[in-house]
Amino acid sequence: MWLLAAAGLAPACSPDAAQPGAPPVVAEAPQAAMSAPTMYTYRVVNTYPHDATAFTQGLIFHDGVLFESTGLVGASSLRKVALETGEVIERRPVETRYFAEGLTLYGDRLVQLTWQAGLGFVYDLATLEVARTFTYAGEGWGLTNDEAKLIMSDGSPTLRFLDPSTFEEVGRLDVHDRGTPVEDLNELEMVRGEIYANVWQTDRIARISPETGQVTGWIDLAGLLPATERTSIDAVLNGIAWDEARGRLFVTGKLWPRLFEIAVERRR
């Protein structure tokens, strides 16, 4: 999400988290059964250039290249990016009135959210042409999928599951750390059966069980991009991409000049 620094405001959580008629929220595990999440740190494996003007909202790695959704009204886009050089191979502008958000690849379609417009775009993977649009209630932040359903965040502790054909809501999942709701869930990525989620305005990624909503681990990325290289208060960690074929994890942030391949390691 966008840090509204100029106005001193932060975007509200989804207004429809308790909307009448919404699918039931998945029940939380009993408090006594919850163990402390495992704490992880990182090791930088590779560093790549990244467009420092890109307000990164969603990130995907597929077939050797990155696909990136960038935000801000009047500057939002869908991009195809060369990993090694950071070169924008192809850029598809989003209509200037929309603030683009999360992005996922489902089949041969790229699906992109917008922040407050309640409108999503479906693009043809090969051409980046808009194939269709869809609507949803509330805000759109992050987006991923488990190969059966789309998984969407809206800044609240609740993830929504959407049917990938109709985009109708088919379920919800409350995310918690030992019973405490986890606010500000943002960019999402499925990694080896877990949901990885950036927590907005922090240097942490939550590893979430898609069955229970429990945070099984925290990845602390403090220091990955030094404060001296963050040119704006908005330049926060956001952007997770997983290379399934080679087991590589990429992360970056809004307005970051670099993208990192990292190895996640248990903290000692």
Judged by average pLDDT, the poorest of 26-30, 71-75, 121-125 is 26-30
Percent of the chain with pLDDT strictly greater than 90: 85
Domain that holds residue 86: 25-266
What's the confidence (pLDDT) of residue 31? 42
Q: Flag whether 226 is in a domain.
A: yes
Q: Is residue 83 part of a domain?
A: yes
- pLDDT tens digit sequence for 21-67: 444 444 444 443 568 899 999 999 999 999 999 999 999 999 999 99
Asked if the structure places residue 17 within a domain, the reply is: no
Q: Please report whether residue 52 resides in a domain.
A: yes
pTM for the whole structure: 0.86
CATH number at residue 259: 2.120.10.30
Task: Give the pLDDT score at 91.
Answer: 97
Residue 14 lies in a domain: no
What average pLDDT does the structure give for the chain?
Answer: 90
Burial 9-41, CB ≥16 within 10 A → b, else e: eebebbebbeeeeeeeebebbeeeebeebeebb
Of 22, 19, 26, the residue nearest 175 (C-alpha): 26
Residue 9 lies in a domain: no
* 202: confidence class by pLDDT, cuts 50, 70, 90: very high
Residue 10 lies in a domain: no
Total domains in the fold of the chain:
1
Q: Tokens in use for 213? A: 């909503």
Domain assignment of residue 6, yes or no = no
Closest CA to 133 of 117, 122, 118, 145: 122
